[in-house]
């Protein structure tokens, strides 16, 4: 545990403190865990709109004539084929094929990209992207601007209304797209992306613009039941949506194939780890589990089928939206089939759960 005095703070730290947020150490950052209650904030995002501070996440700008070729060397997905104004979810792998991070890459221009990585892996991603891009062209610039910038996320069915209320022209934006925007004379970026399973937007701006933007969003969102939201509900929202979390579902010991994402690996470009992944068979996959009652399985709970241990729960909760226990689990291949009942060790007691399709929750479009 990092001491509070040595934790990094986002540009919105004073706002969180004034709002009475409960703060927590997350990847070395002093972040809001919740403002009121986890359940209230979770339901705000599902039924109305929530506002998140995601400024701890890495913002790495990659520029240069050969930036696309450099990023091809970095990630399991080719970046040179991505259109300007689009986003792509991808992974950075080791030379052995292990997942070093899962991240989103935005193409801002022909020669400019933004890589948004997990806070816990920022230094690894910066170092690997810089060295791998240099293999292609030493003039490619890789700049970590995380400390100079901020990310605000507006998530939920009322997110469009809130964004429009402060003047952003976002109605025609497609999912997984990004566009430049101007707010009070300042340039920023808006992406139609998120980690909640709801429609929403992520706003990328300079640090000194964040507080005014946060306050304006809160004021404009009052008529749309906006609520400030912390990391606790972000975790339960992403789990209901079946989205993996690095450190739970993903790690350097696992390949994309080991988490059911082998289809993401494209062998049409030469990236670090491609040969290892071509030669390595998947050993596991991720499955969804649904339980009954109120007792939720937690990460580390073992899973057995016919008395044989076959896997482990990686994330589990009592779903606030669905009202029953759900869990993501890593299991050996071949995986138990859909509707198969498995036994899960929940704090020393055996509990039956059923294999179900992912995601557990999908918004109505």
Please tell me whether residue 41 adopts helix, strand or coil conformation: helix
Q: What are the strands of the beta sheet with 141-144, ordered from one edge? A: 87-93, 99-109, 112-117, 58-63, 141-144
| Tens digit of each residue's pLDDT, the chain (365 residues) | 455 678 999 999 999 999 999 999 999 999 999 999 999 999 999 999 999 999 999 999 999 999 999 999 999 999 999 999 999 999 999 999 999 999 999 999 999 999 999 999 999 999 999 999 999 999 999 999 999 999 999 999 999 999 999 999 999 999 999 999 999 999 999 999 999 999 999 999 999 999 999 999 999 999 999 999 999 999 999 999 999 999 999 999 999 999 999 999 999 999 999 999 999 999 999 999 999 999 999 999 999 999 999 999 999 999 999 999 999 999 999 999 999 999 999 999 999 999 999 999 999 87
- As a whole number of angstroms, the distance between CA 133 and CA 29 comes to 28
Please tell me whether residue 257 adopts helix, strand or coil conformation: helix
CA 324 to mean position of chain CA atoms: 24
- As a whole number of angstroms, the distance between CA 91 and CA 265 comes to 9
CA 40 to mean position of chain CA atoms: 21
| Token pair for 355 | 């294999």
| DSSP label at residue 196 | S
């Amino acid at each position: 545990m990092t001491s509070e005095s040595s934790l990094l703070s986002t540009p919105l730290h004073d706002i969180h403190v004034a709002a009475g947020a409960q703060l927590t150490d997350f990847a070395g950052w002093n972040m809001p865990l919740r403002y009121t209650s986890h359940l209230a904030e979770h339901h705000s995002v599902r039924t109305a709109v929530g506002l998140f501070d995601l400024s701890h996440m890495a913002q790495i700008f990659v520029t240069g004539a050969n930036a696309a070729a450099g990023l091809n060397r970095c990630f399991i997905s080719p970046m040179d084929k991505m259109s300007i104004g689009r986003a792509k979810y991808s992974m950075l792998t080791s030379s052995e094929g292990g997942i070093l991070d899962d991240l989103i890459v935005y193409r801002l221009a022909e020669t400019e990209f933004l890589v948004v990585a997990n806070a816990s892996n920022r230094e690894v991603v910066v170092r690997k992207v810089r060295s791998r891009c240099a293999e292609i062209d030493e003039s490619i610039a890789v700049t970590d601007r995380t400390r100079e910038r901020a990310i605000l996320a507006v998530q939920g069915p009322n997110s469009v209304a809130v964004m429009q209320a402060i003047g952003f022209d976002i109605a025609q934006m497609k999912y997984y797209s990004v566009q430049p925007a101007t707010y009070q004379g300042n340039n920023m970026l808006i992406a139609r992306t998120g980690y909640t399973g709801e429609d929403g937007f992520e706003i990328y701006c300079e640090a000194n613009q964040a507080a005014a933007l946060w306050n304006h969003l809160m004021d404009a969102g009052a008529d749309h039941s906006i609520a400030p939201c912390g990391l606790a509900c972000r975790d339960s929202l992403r789990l209901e949506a079946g989205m993996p979390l690095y450190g739970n579902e993903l790690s350097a010991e696992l390949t994309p194939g080991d988490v059911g994402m082998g289809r993401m690996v494209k062998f049409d470009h030469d990236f670090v780890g491609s040969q290892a992944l071509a030669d390595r068979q998947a050993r596991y996959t991720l499955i969804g589990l649904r339980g009954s009652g109120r007792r939720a399985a937690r990460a580390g709970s073992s899973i057995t089928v016919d008395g044989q241990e076959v896997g482990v729960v990686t994330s589990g909760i009592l779903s606030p939206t669905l009202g029953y226990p759900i869990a993501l689990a890593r299991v050996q291949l071949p995986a138990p089939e859909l509707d198969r009942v498995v036994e899960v060790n929940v704090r020393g007691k055996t509990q039956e759960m059923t294999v179900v399709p992912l995601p557990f929750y999908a918004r109505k479009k």
